[in-house]
Amino acid sequence: MRKGSLNSVFGLPTILTVLIVLSVLGFASLSLVSANAENKALKHSLTLLEGSYEAETKALEYYYQVTNAYEIIYGYLPIGFNQNTAIQGFKAAHPEFTWSGNRFALTETVGAYTVTISAEIHQLHSQKNFTLISQTLSISNDQDYTQNGDPIWKGP
């Protein structure tokens, strides 16, 4: 009886060693799979972020180019002057904008990203004739990826 129990005690460490090695290998493979998934998600997020920044930069550059051109052309007007005729000329020069009174929306698309900038021209000439009201980033699937001006990724 003593010999039988002695043999089973010597087999237990071997079985425990095999189980420990298998569990370590299992956890290692799960960690590797998880790390690869995180890497893939990070690359996708970075691609989205780069595209959104490129679209936003292009839209803002165009907005500032247009507003600077307006300031150069109509900068001679005295402060407080009613610039209705100047605004009408600006509207005629930029039919690509969507107009609503003195407010306009400018849309720029880069790849799958569309940035819409809403702004307003002040009726009276001042040091700052334009007010940037909002900017919205959307992707081709019509989901909004803007939260307080920062693009966020909500997934496909």
Is 145 within the bounds of a domain?
yes
From first to last of its 156 residues, what are the pLDDT tens digits of the chain? Answer: 455 555 555 677 788 888 999 999 999 999 999 999 999 988 888 887 888 888 889 989 999 998 888 888 777 777 777 788 888 888 888 888 888 888 899 888 888 888 888 898 888 877 778 888 888 887 775 555 555 555 555 544
- For residue 153, the model assigns a pLDDT of 53
Domain hosting 101: range is 2-151
Q: How far is CA 55 from CA 18, 74, 98, 104, in A?
A: 56, 29, 19, 19
Report yes or no on 111 lying in a domain: yes
Alpha helices of 77-156 — where are they, by DSSP H? 84-93
- Answer yes or no: is 112 within a domain: yes
Strand residue runs (E) in the chain: 98-100, 103-110, 113-121, 130-139, 146-147, 150-151
Domain count, the chain: 1
What the block records as the tokens of 60 is 């803002």
The Cα diameter of the chain in Å comes to: 112
The C-alpha atoms of residue 20 and residue 147 are separated, in whole angstroms, by 48
Count other C-beta atoms under 10 Å from residue 20's C-beta: 10
Say if pTM beats, i.e. exceeds, 0.85.
no
